[in-house]
Amino acid sequence: MSKSEHTRSALLQSATRQFGEFGYSNASLRKIAGQAGVDVALISRYFGGKLGLFNASLKECLNWPELLDPANDPIETAIEKFTDPTSEDHKFSTTRMIILNADDPIVGERVRVALFDKLIDPLEARMDGAHVKERLAMFIAVIVGASITRYSLQVPGMASADAKMHSRQLRHLIDAALSFKC
Amino acid sequence: MSKSEHTRSALLQSATRQFGEFGYSNASLRKIAGQAGVDVALISRYFGGKLGLFNASLKECLNWPELLDPANDPIETAIEKFTDPTSEDHKFSTTRMIILNADDPIVGERVRVALFDKLIDPLEARMDGAHVKERLAMFIAVIVGASITRYSLQVPGMASADAKMHSRQLRHLIDAALSFKC
DNA sequence: AATATTTGTCAACAAGTGTTGACTTCATGC
DNA sequence: GCATGAAGTCAACACTTGTTGACAAATATT
């Protein structure tokens, strides 16, 4: 790994944390560079600017090839990815990255398009039964709502629940979402 | 209504729109004042600054006395308030105001405390049965998740659903949340 | 009518933002 | 050893932000 690749990836990792924690507009390039131990000007050099850095970070976040693998159940894969149990801190999960930036006046549109291209459309293509669109939307709503309730709002009934209990809550709601009949 | 009260309320209304659409940090005092047809400096005069303006707006948003009225069913009242069918544009709903600012580095803590004081704790006090905390958290998750999915992410299965269909989706998930048994 | 109080206007401020270009340092080729 | 190009440093830029204080206009009070 060359020197430039090293700083590039350090920048990308730091950016993903900051964008995921504070959102695009609240994240500062100087803080991103500082956390990566690198000069601010290098961001423009390697990514062309703040927008380019965000795009690179977004692309990395939403790269979920497992979703396309026929060997995997799409819903189970999505649950694993969304709840992201490997991440050390859910503050920096992909779910948060999406939610926090979906309304941004600058990158919101981009985030939504990427979300559809990389996640929602592939998921929809692999679901069957009646009312796929409606059930999928309800599934997304449950995942997103649970994430916000647990980590952003910190409502005790979810925030203080242990992993097992939270998993039961999630499964119960997901089952309801997927079994919806108009 | 005196002159000063008029500009004060115009400022407050404009602020609620901007804070609800862009979030605290992305909202600009100059735009708020401009939309209210008033000079920027008057914000500092009437509200003491940006933070004071936000607090006033937040207080107004979360003033839901109907929730405490024993004549009303608390859950039904909460649903009405959260889904906010009277608002001309859900972009400026109370739900959005809360979600969009719950993570802000400056006002996030304030928003969460107000949410608990004014909504969650009163709701919890009026619910009965087993596992109240867990079921309430799941209820919140459904409301919040549906709002984001429909209005922020704009997932077609919810965003394109008419009012009747969306209401059925919401009821189905809420029933599941409230009937949860550990 | 003259004074006092409220209400509104304007310009400036310090701080922070993303971005740029000239410069130095470093490593690799010949 | 020297020259070439990559990699990193630094200071400045134009701009926006929230806030402040001095001033003008309008309204109310005596």
Q: What's the pLDDT tens digit per position in B12-21?
A: 999 999 999 9
B64, pLDDT greater than 60? yes
Residue contact A26–B155, C-beta within 8 A = no
CB neighbourhood size of B95 (10 A): 21
B83 and B169, same domain (yes or no): yes
Residue contact B153–A182, C-beta within 8 A = no
Contacts of A140 in chain B (CB under 8 A): 145, 149, 153, 155
Q: How is residue A164 written in tokens?
A: 């097992």
Using CB atoms, which residue from A22, A146, A182 is nearest to B145?
Answer: A146
User: pLDDT of chain A along its 182 residues, tens only?
Assistant: 677 899 999 999 999 999 999 999 999 999 999 999 999 999 999 999 999 999 999 999 999 999 999 999 999 999 988 887 666 565 568 899 999 999 999 999 999 999 999 999 999 999 999 999 999 999 999 999 999 999 999 999 999 999 999 999 999 999 999 999 98
pLDDT at A92: 62
A66 and A13, same domain (yes or no): no
Chain A contact for B99, CB < 8 A?
yes
Question: Biggest alpha carbon distance in chain B?
Answer: 57
Contact B108, B25 (CB under 8 A): no
A21 and A72, same domain (yes or no): no
More confident residue, A114 or B86: A114
B89, pLDDT greater than 70? no
A50 and A113, same domain (yes or no): no
A103 and A159, same domain (yes or no): yes
The CA distance from B17 to B9, in Å, is 12
Terminal Cα distance for chain B, rounded? 54
Question: What is the residue-wise DSSP string for B4-20?
Answer: HHHHHHHHHHHHHHHHH
Residue contact A156–B149, C-beta within 8 A = no
What are the tens digits of pLDDT across the range A128-181?
999 999 999 999 999 999 999 999 999 999 999 999 999 999 999 999 999 999
A39 and A101, same domain (yes or no): no
- Which residues of chain B from 69 to 98 reach within 8 Å of chain A, CB to CB? 98
Domain extent, residue A84, equals: 60-178
B77 and B46, same domain (yes or no): no
pLDDT at B40: 98
From the CA of B56, how many Å to the C1' of D16? Answer: 25
- Which residues of chain A from 142 to 161 reach within 8 Å of chain B, CB to CB? 142-146, 148-150, 152-159, 161
CATH number at residue B27: 1.10.10.60
pLDDT at A2: 77
Q: Which residue is nearest to nucleotide C9 (CA to C1')?
A: B39
B54, pLDDT greater than 60? yes
What are the tens digits of pLDDT across the range B141-165?
999 999 999 999 999 999 999 999 9
> Closest residue of A to B179, CA-based?
A172
pLDDT at B4: 85
Q: Which region among A117-131, B80-94, B164-178 has the lowest average model confidence (pLDDT)?
A: B80-94
B90, pLDDT greater than 60? no
pLDDT at B92: 61
From the CA of B115, how many Å to the C1' of D14? Answer: 41
**How many cross-chain Cβ pairs, A to B, lie less than 8 Å apart?**
159
Using CB atoms, which residue from B26, B158, B177 is nearest to A25?
Answer: B26
Give the CA distances from residue A36 to residues A6, A11, A43, A60, A96, in Å, rounded to whole numbers and listed in that order.
Answer: 10, 6, 11, 17, 21
Distance from the Cα of A146 to chain B's closest Cα (Å) equals: 5
A112 and A157, same domain (yes or no): yes
A51 nearest nt, CA–C1': C18
From the CA of B118, how many Å to the C1' of D24? Answer: 44
B77 and B42, same domain (yes or no): no
Contact A156, B133 (CB under 8 A): yes
Residue contact B155–A168, C-beta within 8 A = no
Which nucleotides on strand D sit less than 7 A from a protein beta carbon? 6-11, 16-22, 27
A36 and A72, same domain (yes or no): no
The CA distance from A13 to A8, in Å, is 9
A88 and A71, same domain (yes or no): yes
Question: What is the residue-wise DSSP string for chain B?
Answer: --HHHHHHHHHHHHHHHHHHHH-TTT--HHHHHHHHTS-THHHHHHHSSHHHHHHHHHHHHT--GGGG-TTS-HHHHHHHHHH-TTSS-GGG-HHHHHHHHTT-TTTHHHHHHHHIIIIIHHHHHT--SS-HHHHHHHHHHHHHHHHIIIIIS--HHHHSS-HHHHHHHHHHHHHHHHT---
Domain count along chain B: 2
What is the DSSP secondary structure assignment for residue A91, as one 8-state letter? Answer: G
A74 and A50, same domain (yes or no): no
Residue contact A141–B136, C-beta within 8 A = no
